[in-house]
Structure 1
Amino acid sequence: MTVQDSPADVDAFAADWEAWHRRKDAALAHEHGFLAVTGQYWPEATPERFPGAPGAWSTGDGRVTVELDDDEELVVDGTAVRGRHTFGVIPERGGVDAVWGDAVIEVAKRGGRHLVRPRHPGHPLRTAFTGTPAYAPDRRWVVSGTYTPFAEPRPTTVGAAVEGLQHVYDAPGRIRFALDSQELDLTAFPGGTPGSLLVLFTDATSGVTTYPASRALHLDAPGPDGAVVLDFNRATNLPCAYTDFATCPLPPAENRLPVAIEAGEKIPYERQPVTG
């Protein structure tokens, strides 16, 4: 069922959405946010230097090692390190930020592989950022749904923005909802807080007005009866919509919706064709 328009609170609804969208863009444009990433590198057994980062980087025995020159220093977990430093075991989708002057060197693990991403506050993608275009908020796109958990979480493999890379999520269940009297289903992944859910999807606007690869929708934990609210006004781009230096997951095949969801964030200005 779709929540009906409520003229009495339409202004408050729009103001709440505007505040949320400003916070989302502010996090993206943080001095060490994704818009500050200047490269994405995959260290191997032989030490190698990467642009925008100190030292020579390598992997072995499931860990990442950096060999710093005499005049180089990183700060890891508040401690200055010099010479040879081996990072601890990094879990899948985890990471460590090593400080280097005003920059941060992210050391992470994605799709079973280690990566190094320098993040520099002065990167032009960040300094020139003017915000993300989006559809105007509309209560029509606030939809009630029902979450049904699987008997056991289902390992679900999806592609990634990086060719050849795959992500595996333990999907806890599915969500059923209706738009314009059409019944639809989405596989849900675990969200960022206990009990919350994450949905990755595409729809008929993808590649037209919204980013073609994927959009994300975060949901609060379902109620005791499985009730959830899908506010598609808050469908967001993933970092790969802005930068090539991201490993974002793609939606599972069943989350490619046949309807046009004209809500949420649109193709970033940075990805729109140049006209003139």
Structure 2
Amino acid sequence: MTHTETHSHDADVTDVFTDEWEQWHRDHETRRAEPHGFLAVTHLHWLTDAPQRYTGIPGVWSTGPDGPVAVLDDGDTLDIDGSTVTGEHRFGPIPERGGVVAGWGDTAIEVARRGGHDIVRPRHPNHPLRAEYTGTPAYSPDPRWRVTGRYVRFDAPRPTTVGAAVDGLQHVYDAPGRIDVELDGQPTSLTAFPGHAAGSLLVLFTDATSGVTTYAANRSVAVDAPGADGSVVVDFNRATNLPCAYTALATCPLPPAENRLSVAVEAGEKTPLRQYVPDVR
């Protein structure tokens, strides 16, 4: 292969890499801006054992050992799993990081458990954060930030406690293993949490760009299931912001200490153009 042919081949590979990233980024932005996505969250309510009324949702709500309970007023209904609910509805115990969505007109009411607390978050498509969303800036894709590493499975999952975007809240994840990679010439070990797809992994991290060009508290990168030989690909070009970068109504986890990197990962999503902070006056 001549020098010219080599250059042409490299350019073709880069073009494919860029095209694939741009398609991924468009798809990610589309999902983020869905009518009842996290940009549509209007309130965050922390349920207690005392029945209370809350802004943005119907009825009176409380929780206890048997899970959240909603007592609706006459004429109010909720749509849950295809059924119409009236009067009193008991959701039952909700697992940590689990949740149920109840429909109420144009509003989707998320009933969930985060950090050991039952919460309710109404989501409305007309919420200004979503209605006025124009996208998230990102670094141009660069193949140097797509790195191959090795997954090292722990003998047993390690309970790992991390902080949260909400002061005083903690999350506990069972970390199945770590990912060893080299970043900017530095050997780096990243604690990995379970991903959304079976066998996949999720890495929460900060780096030297955090609080400068990228969101200060955290970013995340999804990693496909390791190969049979333990090999993994960590593509920091696909590092994304968590909901807390956009709204103070999120309970996102913070990275474990070992995932706070000293290198500047100049890849992936940058600081959002806007964060929603509710007026609590």
Structure 1 length normalisation: TM-score? Answer: 0.95
Show the counterpart of 1:10. 14
Determine if the alignment matches structure 1 residue 217 to structure 2 residue 221.
yes
Q: Which of 173, 180, 193 lines up with 1:176 in the alignment? A: 180
Structure 2 length normalisation: TM-score? Answer: 0.93
Shift of 1:46: 1.1
Q: Which of 77, 94, 101 lines up with 1:90 in the alignment? A: 94
**For residues 53-92 of structure 1, what are the structure 2 equivalents within 5 Å?**
53-92=57-96
Shift of 1:26: 1.1
For 1:43, the aligned partner's letter is L
Determine if the alignment matches structure 1 residue 47 to structure 2 residue 51.
yes
**For residues 219-238 of structure 1, what are the structure 2 equivalents within 5 Å?**
219-238=223-242
* Structure 2 unmatched runs, 5+: 1-8, 277-281
Which secondary structure state, in structure 2, belongs to the residue aligned with residue 262 of structure 1?
coil
Show the counterpart of 1:122. 126
Q: Which of 143, 150, 165 lines up with 1:161 in the alignment? A: 165
d(CA) in 2 for partners of 1:109, 1:247: 10
Show the counterpart of 1:113. 117
Determine if the alignment matches structure 1 residue 255 to structure 2 residue 259.
yes
d(CA) in 1 for partners of 2:68, 2:111: 8
Shift of 1:27: 1.1
For 2:125, the aligned partner's letter is P
Show the counterpart of 2:190. 186
Is the CA contact 2:39–2:129 (under 8 Å) kept in the aligned structure 1?
yes
Q: Which of 258, 269, 274 lines up with 2:273 in the alignment? A: 269
Show the counterpart of 1:246. 250
Show the counterpart of 1:137. 141
d(CA) in 2 for partners of 1:246, 1:27: 17
Shift of 1:62: 3.2
For 1:134, the aligned partner's letter is A
How many residue pairs are counted as aligned between the two chains? Answer: 268
Which secondary structure state, in structure 1, belongs to the residue aligned with residue 46 of structure 2?
coil
* Structure 1 unmatched runs, 5+: none
Deviation by residue 1:163-189 (Cα, 9 ceiling, x = unmatched)? 111110110111111122211110000
For 1:48, the aligned partner's letter is Q
Which secondary structure state, in structure 2, belongs to the residue aligned with residue 269 of structure 1?
coil
Show the counterpart of 1:206. 210
The percentage of aligned residue pairs carrying the same residue is 63
Is the CA contact 2:139–2:266 (under 8 Å) kept in the aligned structure 1?
yes
Moved beyond 2 Å, runs of 4+ = none
CA-based RMSD of the aligned residues comes to 1.2
**For residues 27-38 of structure 1, what are the structure 2 equivalents within 5 Å?**
27-38=31-42
d(CA) in 2 for partners of 1:179, 1:29: 32
d(CA) in 2 for partners of 1:50, 1:175: 43
